[in-house]
Amino acid sequence: MKHKRKVIVVCILVGLAAVVLAVLYGKVAAYYQTHFLPNTTINGIDCSEMEAETVIALLDAQIDDYVLDVTGRDYKTGESKVLLGRIVPNDIQLMYAGTREAVYSFLEQQEASKWIQGYQQKVFSYSFEQEVTFDESMLANVVKSWEACQEKNMLKAKEAYISEYSEIHNNYEVVPETIGTEVDVDQLIQLIVDTVRSQEVFLDVEAQGCYKEASVLHDDKVLTDAVEKVNTWLTASVSYDWNGAEVIVDSKILREWISLENNIPILDEDAVMQFVKKQAAAYDTYGKRRNFKTALGVELTLLSGYYGWKTDTEAETKELIQLIYEGAAAQKEPIYSSRAQKKGSSDIGNSYVEADLTHQHLYLYQNGTLVLETDFVSGDMSSKPGNVTPEGVFGVAYKTTNAVLRGEDYITPVNYWMPYYGNYGMHDATWRSEFGGDIYIANGSHGCINLPLDKAAQIYQYVYAGFPVICYYYQVDPLAGQDTEQQENEGGNDDDSPEDDEED
């Protein structure tokens, strides 16, 4: 009986304890209807045991720590990553929006009846994106107040360009663009608005391309190609041997011929042509009078026929222009259309044929030594003026054997033909039995120098294209009045058949 009573008492006590515990559990659960459970975090903040309003205040207070640093170029020096200004909440009335709704929503979501789990170290974690609100007009005014955003302080960017010619370095160069500090304020304001909304704490204006940059940069292909080309031209160096005279084309001359127009290299090809013509006029001997000392010791001044140094100005101009375009370093002679035996103004040298037309006597010199002399018959003086053998300094055009000479009224074969001035030349005259004396006056040739066959053959062996032939008459005969041997040979006149070409 006693044992039964004990059991009943125990049951009653247990029941009462259960009721008490149930009441207590319910009261705690009711508490967590308005408070967050233990181990609850919202956006990483511990909100355990806190009421919603306390949590709201705690979360919204975080905005007070927000600072946005805006960096860019120093408006004075252009240095990068310099602090331009700073945005803080009070400047723009920055605050969070939607915190209240989010917090109460999380509170409603938690199961208060499971409050004991919080004490069992279970973590209740919530997060949401805290949107912000602010006054954009205030933000714009703040930004515009920064010194870097004052138009008076902005440095405009300058485009890269090609420098003037450098005397020191003998070249042109690309001058780099100037980095400006002219910022697009409207673009900057919009960037800052977006940055604040995303709650980022750093903005590099330069990295975002807010500055007005130069449109032509130092690596611009138009500039770099132009500089490379013009500097190549300026490095050209041509050293001429111009008929024995040194003529140098280098930067001192080239800089006068080369220019840049709208960043395009220009070589004044007309100036190059004038330069070549000037040198030709100074150093060419073709067509110029020459002083010549005859075998009789008389100093004569003779015209130049087809003999002497003559620059092919057109061909040389083209070649010099090409060398400049290539930036070449060259040592050369100009291109000659006619060459003489010797360089310099006295270009006859010491190997030549000397035809004394007054005395009808020819001398052949080889390396300064008289190797042959002979009488001859030159052009007729009493008939056509064109038959008179011209005087001057000439050069053998070519030589050939077994030629046929043709004129208006004759066809004459010769064994050795050595023309030196158009159709005037030296050749054998086998139809003549006498040479020298006064034969030429009334019975001369059509203008050529008629030679004995054996002498023509010997002369033919010595001469070559360009070999000088000097023909002259004495205005005052140095032998007049002297007792000299008769130089004419007894004999007949020219063959009636014409033997030489007429003059051109």
Domain contains 197: no
Residue 225 three-state SS: helix
Strands 258-261 vs 264-267: parallel, antiparallel or unpaired? antiparallel
Residue 112 has pLDDT above 80, yes or no: no
Domain match, 140 and 250 both: no
**Residue 434 domain flag:** yes
Do 374 and 431 fall within a single domain? Answer: yes
User: Does residue 499 have a pLDDT over 60?
Assistant: no
| 324 located within any domain | yes
* Phi-psi sector, 31: left (phi>0), alpha (psi -120 to 50), beta: alpha
Largest CA distance in the chain: 200
- How high is the pLDDT of residue 181? 94
Q: For residue 386, what is the domain's CATH number?
A: 2.40.440.10
Residue 502 has pLDDT above 60, yes or no: no
| 83 & 187 share domain | yes
Residues 260, 318, single domain; the answer is yes
**Does residue 159 belong to any structural domain of this protein?**
yes
Tokens found for residue 412: 């004459």
Query: Backbone dihedral region of 334: left (phi > 0), alpha (psi from -120 to 50 degrees) or beta?
Result: beta
| Structure token pair of residue 435 | 């040479």
- Would residue 179 count as lying in a domain? yes
Q: Are residues 150 and 263 in the same domain?
A: no
474-479: long-range contacts (C-beta < 8 A, 24 or more apart)? 474/298, 474/300, 474/356, 474/358, 477/358, 477/359, 478/296, 478/297, 478/298, 479/296, 479/359
CA angle 301, 307, 311 (to 5 degrees): 115
Q: What is the pTM of this model?
A: 0.71
> Where does the pLDDT of residue 30 fall: very low under 50, low under 70, confident under 90, or very high at 90 and above?
confident
Distance CA 454, CA 415 (A): 10
List the CATH number of the domain containing 238: 3.10.20.800
**What's residue 5's pLDDT?**
66
Q: Which domain holds residue 239?
A: 223-286+307-338
DSSP 169-202: TTB--EEPPBPP--B-HHHHHHHHHHHHHTT-SE
For range 408-424, the mean pLDDT = 92
Q: Which residues contact 397 (CB under 8 A, 6 or more apart)?
A: 306, 419, 420, 425, 465
Compute the distance between CA of residue 6 and CA of residue 394 in angstroms, rounded to an integer. 162
Which residues have a Cβ under 8 Å from the Cβ of 218 and sit 6 or more positions away? 160, 174, 175, 176, 177
Q: Is 90 exceeded by the pLDDT of residue 455?
A: yes
| Average of per-residue pLDDT across 470-492 | 71
In this prediction, residue 24 carries a pLDDT of 62
- Tens digit of each residue's pLDDT (9 = 90 or more) over 140-165: 999 999 999 999 999 999 999 999 99
Count how many domains the chain has: 3
